[in-house]
Amino acid sequence: MPVIDAHCDTITVLQSQNRSLGKISTQGHLDIPRLKKGRVDVQFFAIFIGPEYYSSPLLYAKEMINLYNSEVIKNYSDIESVNNYDEIIACTEKGKIAAVLTIEGGEALNGNIEQLEEYYAWG
């Protein structure tokens, strides 16, 4: 049976902790070495827009999406970004961690439901 963790705030805090997803750390929810140790197959990474970013949620969300993409690229031998079930299966069959990017809450929409289409296009 696959091990799936449906939520972590790691991407949101990586920048403030000045660390990389690929290096083991005692800070934050997780990193790749701890995911491997826990035999996690699929990890959902949430972007949370806190009140301090309510004035520019789109800008902050883009920044976090770019950080997520950068970390996945840097650690591509261990993790891949996926968008659907078939990609999850293909990724895990290669022995990699399947990473799913999510946005927690509706603040990132900034009152504009059409923003969903743009976020979808960004992964």
1-7: average pLDDT: 95
In a domain, 25, yes or no: no
Cβ–Cβ under 8 Å, residues 45 and 11: yes
Report yes or no on 16 lying in a domain. no
| CA nearest to 14, candidates 1, 2, 31 | 31
For 30-89, what is each residue's pLDDT tens digit?
Answer: 999 999 999 999 999 999 999 999 999 999 999 999 999 999 999 999 999 999 999 999
Evaluate whether residue 119 is within a structural domain.
yes
- Give yes or no for residue 123 having a pLDDT over 90: no
pLDDT at 105: 93
pLDDT band at 116; cut points 50, 70, 90: very high
Does residue 29 have a pLDDT over 90? no
Confirm whether 30 is domain-assigned: no
Q: Is the pLDDT of residue 115 over 90?
A: yes
Q: Is residue 58 part of a domain?
A: yes
In-domain check, residue 118: yes
pTM of the predicted structure, to 2 decimals: 0.93
37, 95 Cβ separation under 8 angstroms: no
CB of 88 closer than 8 Å to CB of 82? yes
- Both tokens of 60, joined, read 């902050």
Whether 15 shows a pLDDT value over 90: the answer reads no
Residue type, 111: G
Please, what is the Cα angle at 66 between 64 and 72, to 5 degrees?
105
Q: Give the per-residue pLDDT at 2.
A: 92
- Residue 69, in any domain of the structure: yes
CA separation for the pair 95, 111 (Å, rounded): 40
Burial of 33 from C-beta contacts in 10 A (0-12 / 13-18 / 19+): middle
Q: What pLDDT does 63 receive? A: 94
Domain of residue 107: give its range.
Answer: 41-123
23 inside domain:
no
Residue 72 CA to residue 88 CA, distance in Å, equals 15
Looking at the structure of the chain, the number of domains it has is 1
